Amino acid sequence: MQLEDYFDFLAPDDIRIKGTRIGIEHILYQYIHRAQTPEAIAERYRTVTLEQVYATILYYLHNQVSVSA
């Protein structure tokens, strides 16, 4: 499975976790600004799996410039 398979790319500024209505910005806000662990984030967003949270963080780390824009 490719990392991009975890996401629905609706627009350049609208990337959602596949199968949910959760945008990656929600996960990344909790991770970056609130210093939440992936486990705590998965617990907060019950429709998202721990694997999806880790995939979102990894996607961000590989694409920081484009995601931050």
The number of residues making up the chain comes to 69
pLDDT tens for residues 5-37? 999 999 988 999 999 999 999 999 999 999 999
pLDDT at 69 over 80: no
7, 59 Cβ separation under 8 angstroms? yes
Question: Which pLDDT value is given to residue 18?
Answer: 97
Determine how many CB atoms are found less than 10 A away from the CB of residue 17. Answer: 23
Q: What is the pLDDT of residue 39?
A: 98
- Other CB atoms within a 10 A radius of the CB of residue 40 amount to 13
Confidence at residue 67, expressed as pLDDT on a 0 to 100 scale: 81
Q: Helix, strand or coil for residue 6?
A: helix
Domains present along the chain, CATH in parentheses: 3-68 (1.10.10)
Mean pLDDT confidence for 2-6: 93
pLDDT of residue 27: 98
Tokens at 46, concatenated: 């019950």
